[in-house]
Structure 1
Amino acid sequence: MTEQIRAEIVANVMSVVARPGTRIDEGDTVVILESMKMEIPVLSEYTGVLTSIAVKEGDVVQEHDLIAVVD
């Protein structure tokens, strides 16, 4: 089943930690966002293969923007 990881806040993408094609588990960090000088890890809620990353370092995400897809 394909699942989407979405942003919960408006923030800058500080770092992309996971890479497409790798297996991730629930709780693994996918990207790190920065908002108001705080680092906020975005954790996967799913276990599976990370099929795509929709953001890159330096991007600004809005609430509910797509960050990654897990299959």
Structure 2
Amino acid sequence: MMGTVLKVNAAVGDQVGVGDTVIVIESMKMELRIVSEIEGTVTSINCSEGETVERHAVVAVVEPEE
């Protein structure tokens, strides 16, 4: 199932916490929130608003805090 990136809520270098919404994707007329599962720093954003992404695509990377 593909989706379209509606909003990128974080940038590389941002600190995020557990449950913070990093990206919002629309698929099948539903908005899906991609949330951080850990506290850490965003090290990569691999999509942009309006882009179509494939199922299981890595759209962002968060490195854990040490």
TM-score (norm. length: structure 1): 0.81
Pairwise CA RMSD of aligned residues? 1.1
Select 1:27's aligned residue among 19, 31, 42: 19
Instruction: Deviation per CA, 1:8-49: give whole Å up to 9, x if none.
Output: x52110110111101001100000000122111111112100
Counterpart code for 1:35: S
| Structure 2: gaps (5+ residues) | none
Percentage of matched positions with identical amino acids: 43
Q: Distance in 2 between matches of 1:34 and 1:64?
A: 14
Q: Distance in 2 between matches of 1:14 and 1:55?
A: 10
Q: Does 1:16 align with 2:8?
A: yes
Aligned to 2:35: 43
Select 2:51's aligned residue among 52, 59, 64: 59
Higher relative contact order (CA 8 A, sep 6+): 1
Equivalenced residues, count: 63
| Structure 1: gaps (5+ residues) | 1-8
TM-score (norm. length: structure 2): 0.86
